[in-house]
């Protein structure tokens, strides 16, 4: 195996990646069409009736890896937000200051990984990740996010 073989996806890896995306989308379709949310609280907060285990696994998948590698960067970002951004954004009455900054990181991180490993151009990676994430999240709400994170936890750990 040459050094270039280690830097490219093989057919099996592409199949696994596609299955991963199909399962995530299926979870969104399930919660979007078969377990419809009737209120904003059900959509955004899972009806406040999510079990502890899937919520905990969702939090582990979402934040554990990120905080291991970016603890110092997060502390600096929080200081900048508290001192600069909150005074600017608070009058806009947004749900969270993270609406603007966090989503950029959430889209860029997997897009950079796809670019590096699969050779997909960064602009296309951002679009693909954004469309898939927006699709399954907007259809199924918070329940979709949590159960997709549970699926990712099982797959990754």
Share of the chain above pLDDT 90, in %: 11
**For residue range 12-28, what is the model confidence (pLDDT) as tens digits?**
888 998 999 999 999 98
User: Residue 45 has what pLDDT?
Assistant: 82
With 70 as the cut, is the pLDDT of residue 35 above it?
A: yes
Q: What are the residue ranges of helices labelled H in the chain?
A: 11-29, 40-45, 52-59, 65-80, 86-89, 98-118, 122-156
> What pTM value is reported for the model?
0.44
**Percent of the chain whose predicted confidence (pLDDT) is above 70:** 89
pLDDT at 1: 47
Q: pLDDT per residue over 85-104, tens digit each?
A: 778 877 877 766 566 677 78
Please tell me which of 38-42, 113-117, 123-127 the model is most confident about, judged by mean pLDDT: 123-127
Residue 77 vs residue 100, higher pLDDT: 77
Q: Which of 157, 117, 146 has its CA nearest to residue 28? A: 146
* pLDDT at residue 134 is higher than 50: yes
Cα–Cα distance for residue pair 150/15, rounded to 1 Å: 20
DSSP state, residue 60 = I
> Residue 25: what pLDDT?
92
């Amino acid at each position: 195996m040459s050094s270039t073989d280690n830097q490219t996806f093989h057919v099996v890896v592409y199949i696994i990646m596609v299955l991963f995306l199909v399962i995530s989308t299926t979870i969104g379709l399930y919660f979007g069409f078969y377990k419809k949310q009737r209120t904003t609280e059900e959509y955004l907060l899972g009806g406040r009736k999510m079990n502890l285990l899937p919520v905990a696994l969702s939090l582990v998948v979402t934040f554990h890896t990120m905080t291991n590698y970016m603890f110092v960067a997060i502390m600096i970002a929080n200081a900048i937000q508290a001192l600069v951004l909150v005074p600017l954004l608070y009058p806009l009455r947004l749900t969270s200051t993270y609406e603007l900054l966090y989503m950029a990181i959430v889209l860029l991180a997997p897009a950079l990984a796809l670019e590096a490993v699969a050779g997909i151009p960064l602009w296309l990676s951002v679009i693909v990740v954004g469309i898939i994430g927006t699709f399954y999240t907007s259809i199924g709400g918070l329940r979709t996010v949590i159960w997709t994170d549970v699926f990712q936890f099982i797959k990754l750990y």
